[in-house]
Structure 1
């Protein structure tokens, strides 16, 4: 077979506790397959249950890491290890819904020095950087305004999108007001100014969204951030 017929192969770690009843988990393989076809690569993915992620060595060899929805996770530390490994080693990373929330906690603890940062779904003490939303976003869609020049805006090719959610927790005001000049930047907001997406400005591709755009694959629509993650992994 001519060399030109071979497609680059990418290894993707899907960090989270697979549940066939979770709609996002049903959609993720299709979103990856569609994105891989679109950009001309082969995406081989492994579901890594959080109890099986016990050290950075468990992530070695993966070209990208996706911390998937459906939290709380069975083993929170497994999710935090994966997020930190991707952040510190320049590994393309996507965190959606629960993955977004846990990436905020990880950043607060290990970059901002808020060692007591926590998630209100599983903790009641400390600086809760993820708290219940004023209005639940379970099975709801909403408009998100994207920062000009951001990676997420580039992926979508526009600065206003509408996506669906299945979540009841988001970023606290305390955290939203704190990062300032930190590399972690808010790059997506709803019409009321609540943060719905973040990215690291000093990382090849590290994006977190509260919404679950991967579910578009079940409706025959593209998942732009999955394509962008694979493009970053290919490079």
Structure 2
């Protein structure tokens, strides 16, 4: 197939309110274009001054997503990978903090001698250079760039100016702006209101940018009359006003945009001539399994420290959607605060009523740790399927050491620096690290699996690669003691020094992993550990239902001398 001569740039901006779903829109458009045979990459530009989100609280930023090359990035990169089935990298996420840091470093090195360093041209030129980085280095047809924030934010202005200049540099046929806005529904008036969208486009015009396509989020589908009205007020043809009403699941969004012909409008405006019909049979089959699972439902409890803000566990939640479809079940997630179980064990029992699997989530710090350990003990003692991720795996080893091996003071030096039984300890090379940002064990590392274990059964191979984000590791001084009592170290680093996966012999399904499997689960390739965990929960749920049916069935006994 002939390829477009130039890399085409698509910029996705947002207006009216935040959290409209620019990341889902970008990922969905990328999927549609890829399904037509085009080579697509997506990147995210964030306006905050942090160099990366690695030191930000999950309550402020949500999940920190980690790439194979160890970049701590925005959670939207997870959507890009899950939809496109393509890995992102350090170059896929740029913050304003990194831009300013680069400009200041260049100034200190004398690159701007004789000149006053200013936002225009120096900061803008730095952004423009980064905008083309993936286009130069990648074998691409289309590069989609999502610009974080909302039109009107002061901190986003340099990104918008760089986009405006790039369109002048590369030409109208090579750069496209898609603006995502809100068309709210006023219940009292029973009407969709277009005025917020009109004002958002007006603000965008003030920066010198006329959007090429408008995507309008709404509770209800847009009528042709509303599209026509929006188009007239925003200098667009009604065909360039795309409706995006609320969906049952984010995975329906690409199919809705396909029906709205967004991809066709993009292809026409960018003068892309060579493409095929979209191939989305697998995606449609997946969405059908999500909507109509044939094996019923399971309930998974996620015990964590940030459960008031589900975006802190975005990749875990999406991994359960993938694993549910793979097992033909609907996964209902129950978010439980770890602190709630720290004082009364009865609270653990009450919160786990009707639960078929327990996941203890990653995190940092000592808040809620004893609650997590209580949930793990309940899963171990009651043979309930369990998955521990990163800190969850470390808590599982602490619980096992205390309650099975008799090491009553077992702990992590993250929580008690003077612990006399530190089954989890700071990695040796971390002990002299002072800076917090970007200094953990980050990115993809190899792991060797032990034959005959749950992990090996799930992966079906001996060598795997998984992404990490942590400072503390299992302390090998306690390895023999835990192993003697039934803990299986089923995954290690290639040299055997680092424990990556732990299991418990004789348990229905008990696995703890030092890495983050949720970062690598995708629609096209469900992560094997999530698939195995949900499969075990499904079998446990079926068993529980059968026990319930058996207990409800009347039992008849033939009494002596009675016919």
Q: TM-score, normalised by structure 1?
A: 0.91
- Shift of residue 217 of structure 1? 2.8
Correspondences of 1:162-201 after superposition (within 5 Å): 162-193=465-496, 194-201=498-505
Q: Counterpart of 2:471 in 1: which secondary structure? A: strand
Between structures 1 and 2, the one with greater strand share:
1
Q: 1:157 to 1:5 in 2, by over 3 A?
A: closer
- Give the one of 74, 77, 89 matched to 2:367: 74
* Residue 223 (structure 1) aligns with: 527
4+ long deviations beyond 6 Å: none
* Residue 38 (structure 1) aligns with: 326
> RCO greater where, 1 or 2, for CA within 8 Å and sep 6 or more?
1
Q: Counterpart of 2:485 in 1: which secondary structure? A: coil
Q: Does the 8 Å CA contact 1:145/1:188 hold for their aligned counterparts?
A: yes
Asked whether 1:92 is paired with 2:380, we answer no
Between structures 1 and 2, the one with greater helix share:
2
- Give the one of 86, 105, 113 matched to 2:398: 105
- TM-superposition CA deviations, 1:47-100 (whole Å, max 9, x none): 111112242312232100000111335222210110000000000000010000
Q: Does the 8 Å CA contact 2:293/2:329 hold for their aligned counterparts?
A: no
* Residue 152 (structure 1) aligns with: 455
Instruction: Decide which structure has the larger Cα Rg and report it.
Output: 2
- TM-superposition CA deviations, 1:87-124 (whole Å, max 9, x none): 00000000010000000000000000000111110102
Q: Counterpart of 1:122 in 2: which secondary structure? A: coil
Cα distance in structure 2, aligned partners of 1:72 and 1:83: 18
- Give the one of 83, 101, 126 matched to 2:420: 126
Cα distance in structure 2, aligned partners of 1:20 and 1:166: 19
- Shift of residue 181 of structure 1? 2.9
- Shift of residue 227 of structure 1? 0.8
- Shift of residue 140 of structure 1? 2.0
Asked whether 1:48 is paired with 2:331, we answer no
- Shift of residue 135 of structure 1? 4.4
Q: 1:11 to 1:133 in 2, by over 3 A?
A: same
Asked whether 1:142 is paired with 2:445, we answer yes
- Shift of residue 164 of structure 1? 0.5
The runs of 5 or more residues in structure 2 that have no matched partner are 1-291, 431-439, 540-563
Q: 1:178 to 1:99 in 2, by over 3 A?
A: same
- Give the one of 513, 516, 537 matched to 1:233: 537
* Residue 28 (structure 2) aligns with: none
Q: Counterpart of 1:186 in 2: which secondary structure? A: strand
* Residue 13 (structure 1) aligns with: 301
Q: TM-score, normalised by structure 2?
A: 0.39
Cα distance in structure 1, aligned partners of 2:366 and 2:333: 19
Q: Counterpart of 2:484 in 1: which secondary structure? A: coil
- TM-superposition CA deviations, 1:174-217 (whole Å, max 9, x none): 21232243221100000121211110111010000101011113
The runs of 5 or more residues in structure 1 that have no matched partner are none
Cα distance in structure 1, aligned partners of 2:494 and 2:380: 29
- TM-superposition CA deviations, 1:127-175 (whole Å, max 9, x none): 0100012346532211000000110111111111000000111111221
Q: Does the 8 Å CA contact 1:67/1:99 hold for their aligned counterparts?
A: yes
